[in-house]
Amino acid sequence: MTEALVVAIAAATLLGVYIVGVKQYFNDYPPTAFVALSYAIGAVWYFPLVAVRIPVDKFWRTLTDHGFVLVVLAIITALALVAFYTSLVLGDVSYIAPLSKTVPVFVLPLEVLALRQSITRLQLLGIVTVTIAIYVINYQGGSVLAPVFRLFKSRAAGLAIISAILFAVVDVGKRVSMQE
């Protein structure tokens, strides 16, 4: 096993524990309050590091040059998080977490449309694989189309998909802003 694979497995495990912990211990709190508090704690936690590591003139220049894009991406990220945490309140973690992590399925078409990227066979295979995996995870017997209908009828599932789409927009937005 490579070091990168070990780190990836550890990160996935931590994310899983985090999601289950949020569902278990913060389910009664409004998602907007949870996101706002998380952002505030993150800002307080990282501000000293930013203040020490980034020269003030470079920090302000970055904010003025890319301020609008940063604000828009932060707002979209907050909306994605609120959608995700609301879906966690409404649905089971085992159903919501896989749906909300389908971000790459939405990033690729956005890159094709917005950035004029082309899709390789491997990327297309990846989208098909993720789509089939989500379908199989949600299949509980009965009609072959039951998982599709369940996806459209469930508010929790819809919010998880909206969250994934918003995170895809943020990912593509970050890529565009970093290229320019």
The predicted pLDDT at position 66 comes to 67
Percent of the chain surpassing pLDDT 70: 94
What is 11-76 written as a DSSP string? HHHHHHHHHHHHHHHSTTS-HHHHHHHHHHHHHHHHHHHHHHHS-HHHHHHHHHHHHHHHHHHHHH
Neighbouring residues of 90: CB distance < 8 A, sequence distance ≥ 6: 155, 156, 159
Neighbours of 115 (CB within 10 A): 11
Condensed to tens digits (0 to 9), the pLDDT of residues 109-138 reads 888 888 888 888 998 898 888 888 877 777
| Among 81, 54, 66, 91, CA closest to 163 | 81
Residue 170 — pLDDT band, cuts 50, 70, 90? very high
| Among 58, 92, 90, 71, CA closest to 170 | 71
Query: What torsion, rounded to 10 degrees, do the Cα atoms 32, 38, 41, 45 define?
Result: -150
How many angstroms separate the CA atoms of 177 and 180, rounded? 5
Condensed to tens digits (0 to 9), the pLDDT of residues 50-76 reads 777 777 777 666 666 667 777 888 899
CA–CA–CA angle 174, 178, 180 (5° rounding): 125
| Tokens 């819809």 -> residue | 158
The predicted pLDDT at position 1 comes to 66
State if pTM tops 0.85: no
Q: Residue 142: which region, alpha, beta or left (left: phi > 0; alpha: psi -120 to 50)? A: left
Condensed to tens digits (0 to 9), the pLDDT of residues 142-158 reads 888 877 777 778 899 89
Condensed to tens digits (0 to 9), the pLDDT of residues 8-17 reads 888 888 988 8
